Amino acid sequence: MSAQGHGASPDGSGTSPKGHGASPDGSGTSPKGSGASPERSGTSPERSGRTASSRTRVRAVPLGPRSLAALVLVSAVGVVAFFWPFLAPPASRIGAHAEDAPWLFAGLLILLVAVVAATISESGLGPKAVAMLGVLAATGAALRPIGAGTAGIEPMFFLMVLSGRVLGPGFGFVLGSVTMFASALLTGGVGPWMPFQMLAMGWFTMGAGLLPGGARLRGRGERLLLAAYGFLAAFAYGTVMNLAGWPFMGALTSNIAFDPDASVPANLARFVAYCLATSLGWDLGRALCTVVLTLVLGPALLRALRRATRRAAFETAVTFDAPAA
């Protein structure tokens, strides 16, 4: 019998690689005949790697033990700095020390710088993460003055929400603080209120990175989640920032100002009245602007941010090969 007529192999084994799909090494499975090739299986290495990386949370600035401890410390100090009117008893007379605000400003600023320094030193913030941080912070600082004085239209907030969502809470806190610092320098808004703004914006952006479903939730559900968070967080940001200036109005100037001799419920009622009278319209404009921009521009910006983080490969160590001799 000829090898051509019966499919016999040239070595007499009776099995032709062409007729039965045997592999050259005799395993009986040909890469072409078994359908396991990247072309025929429909899952190329490039496509599968892209899918896997797109479902993995990227941590451009991971929170390690030291940076997490520093973040908890500055957050605790920030909570006291914001909410002391409701924490101090009326007999403490702490409201008489409003002239100490510059010291609080310096202390909070030092702590914020310590958080950023600890995060950079521990996480090994590379040049790619620094570049993305600079681009996003500069973009946010440029967006902030666009709607200044116009019913709370502040487009930088939606950028902070989406950036924190994609890049995680560590990067989000650093981005929010640096963006507010840069915008203060850009607009001349440097003052005792600046560290409060930096801390509040850091919390705002970090909260977006802590939302659930970061590795699985996509599409309309994710956009609705981010829009709802942006709406609520915009009000929370405005309310917290009201606490930074409300205690220093002076009880004699208005019946909605902080009264150090009043009880906590009375001061809480005064503060609610102060928010409704002074900032409700502005906070509503900020919240609606954040929702609209998130729903309209969110899909394109989320894809761009995720594509940039995949290509940056923050968690991949950069190595340099020695030149060939």
* pLDDT, tens only, 60-87: 666 777 778 878 888 888 888 788 777 7
Q: Could you report the per-residue pLDDT of 185-242, keeping only the tens digit for each?
A: 887 677 777 888 888 999 999 999 899 887 788 888 899 999 999 999 999 999 999 8
H-assigned helices in the chain = 3-6, 17-20, 38-41, 45-54, 65-87, 101-123, 127-143, 156-187, 194-209, 220-245, 264-278, 280-312
**pLDDT for res 237:** 93
Q: What angle do CA 83, 150, 191 make, to 5 degrees?
A: 45
**pLDDT for res 225:** 94
**pLDDT for res 102:** 56
Tell the burial category of 140 from Cβ atoms under 10 Å away from its Cβ (0-12, 13-18, 19+): buried
- Mutual angle of helices 220-245 and 264-278, in 10-degree steps: 110
**pLDDT for res 161:** 94
Q: Which residues of the chain fall below pLDDT 50?
A: 1-54
Tell the burial category of 170 from Cβ atoms under 10 Å away from its Cβ (0-12, 13-18, 19+): buried
**pLDDT for res 114:** 73
**pLDDT for res 122:** 65
Tell the burial category of 61 from Cβ atoms under 10 Å away from its Cβ (0-12, 13-18, 19+): buried
Residue 125, Cβ neighbours under 10 Å: how many?
A: 20
Cβ neighbours of residue 222 closer than 8 Å, sequence gap 6 or more: 165, 213, 302
181: left (phi over 0), alpha (psi -120 to 50) or beta: alpha
**pLDDT for res 201:** 92
String of b and e for 230-260 (b: at least 16 CB within 10 Å)?
bbebbbbbbbbbbbbebbeeebeeeebbbbb
Can you read off the two tokens belonging to residue 264?
């906590």
**pLDDT for res 12:** 44
21: left (phi over 0), alpha (psi -120 to 50) or beta: left
Q: What is the pTM of this model?
A: 0.72
